[in-house]
Amino acid sequence: MTCIANSTSTLWNEQDYEIRDLSRVMTPALAIYPEIVRRNIRTTLDLMGGNPNRWRPHVKTAKLRAVMHMLTEVGVQKFKCATTLELQTAIAAGAGDVLIAYPLAGANASRARQIADHQPHVRISALIESHDQIATWRGSRVGLFLDINPGMNRTGVQAQDTPRILALAKAIQNSGTEFRGLHYYDGHLHHSDHDKLAAEAHAGYARLLRLVATLEANAIEVKEVITSGTPTLEPALTFTGFENANFMHQVSAGTVVYCDVRSLQQLPAGYAPAALVISRVVSQPCKGIVTCDAGHKTVAVDVGVPHCLVMGRPDLVPKQPSEEHLPLAFAGHENAPRTGSFLYLVPCHVCPTVNNFDHALFIRNSRVESVEEVSARGREMPLLD
């Protein structure tokens, strides 16, 4: 998917992002604006009627313990993660309930069991889609969610396969492991037409409700249903079937804490980018091109090219980056940025961009307030003790 980086630049005030003393900043650098993070969090909670129990954000975006703590301090206690390092970081930030929303086996599952044993005050859960996976967690403190495949075809049991889903739910019950509910990630829905997006999402949620009814008719209680990353956040929150359900419905949008160009095109008003990449112009190799020091080892390129926009400079168009270099095309000569000048880049996909950095600058009142570790970057040691 190519990022369309043109119309969103009017959604924020560029002065809010100014950093006055950049002479000491080595580039490329990740800059996070905590007050904008808090504003994005408040906006999300407002969409949920102020109820933090409806939000189970995926921390693959936040990555920093300091940012996860911003969530827990406003009452968000339930999280999703993909790695044991993210699990550890969320717990350290005060999380009370974490779902590992990635299939675990072997030593990975053993490590999650270890963490659960050492953190008895935290509810830890995993996803399953087969009988073998149920056996992996038997006898542990780890609860289980059934992973339902809504059509993304990445993981999970096909949503239409009711007999298999029913058999797995019964098997979880019979294993003595806690059956917590259903996980349904409709991350494949990305329509720019909001009405079409809502219609497709709501059709899937209606099928999900019928599945819940079948489970309950077979004496299987569904306590929780987790849906929706950032693209389908609003459709999930406007689906009336979730409002008075017997289960607790939660959305798992994580990108909203920072936002990026893609998410700002999908979300309602009130959000702004809270994580930028500060880059320097290092070359003007030919007419109509300048190059800055923010290649694909800095700004994620999985969404295609252009993969970012330059704040305040819509005339600078990112081209195909190499590992350390990002060429930018421009028209004319009078407006060419000088070598050594700074550019503020807004990623199209902020989650893997944050994961490219070991540290982040926290910016407040146009100054560097602190340097924070990107605590959950990468993974834990690959050998299990």
Considering its fold, how many domains does the chain have in total? 2
* Encoded amino acid at 202, one letter: H
Output the pLDDT for position 190. Answer: 83
Domain stops at, among 252, 280, 308: 252
- 174 within a domain of the structure (yes/no): yes
Which structure tokens are listed for 309? 């926009």
Tokens of 230: 């950032």
Asked if 77 and 207 sit in the same domain, the reply is yes
Query: Do 237 and 367 sit in the same domain of this protein?
Result: no
The residue from 202, 225, 252 where one domain ends is 252
User: Beta-strand (E) ranges in the chain?
Assistant: 29-32, 78-81, 97-100, 123-128, 143-149, 157-158, 179-184, 224-227, 248-251, 275-286, 289-292, 308-310, 317-318, 326-329, 342-347, 359-364, 367-373
* Within-domain flag for 297: yes
Where would I find the H helices in 123-161? Answer: 131-137
Q: Is residue 281 part of a domain?
A: yes
In this structure, the answer to whether residues 309 and 232 fall within a common structural domain is no
Same domain, 189 and 299: no
Q: What is the pLDDT of residue 152?
A: 93
Distance CA 3, CA 356 (A): 19
Do 278 and 316 reside in the same domain of the chain? yes
The range of the structural domain enclosing residue 151 comes to: 56-252
Looking at the fold, whether 291 and 226 belong to one and the same domain comes out as: no
- The span from the CA of 231 to the CA of 192, in Å, is 10
Task: Clarify whether residues 274 and 247 are in a common domain.
Answer: no
252, 278, 295: which is the final residue of a domain? 252
Q: Do 210 and 73 reside in the same domain of the chain?
A: yes
Instruction: Answer for the pair 353, 299: CB distance below 8 angstroms, yes or no.
Output: yes
Pick from 188, 251, 286, 228: nearest CA to 49: 251
- Low-confidence stretches of the chain (pLDDT beneath 50): 1-2, 4-10
Q: For residues 379 and 34, what is the distance between their CA atoms, to the nearest angstrom?
A: 25
Burial of 269 (0-12, 13-18, 19+ CB in 10 A): exposed
In a domain, 330, yes or no: yes
Question: Residues, the chain, total?
Answer: 385
User: Residue 64 falls within a domain, yes or no?
Assistant: yes
CATH number of the domain residue 304 falls in: 2.40.37.20
- Confirm whether 384 is domain-assigned: no
Helices 65-72/34-47 angle, 10° precision: 40
Residues 216 and 192 in one domain: yes
Q: Does residue 381 belong to any structural domain of this protein?
A: no
The answer to whether 181 touches 218, Cβ cutoff 8 Å, is no
Same domain, 227 and 100: yes
Q: What is the CATH number of the domain that holds 219?
A: 3.20.20.10
pLDDT at residue 226, as a whole number: 98
Q: Tell me, yes or no, whether 226 and 282 share the same domain.
A: no
60 and 139 part of one domain: yes
- Please indicate, yes or no, if residue 128 is contained in any of the structural domains: yes
DSSP letter string, 269-308: TT----EEEEEEEEEEEETTEEEES--TTTS--TT-SS-E
For residue 331, what are the CA distances in angstroms to 196, 280, 318?
A: 37, 19, 13
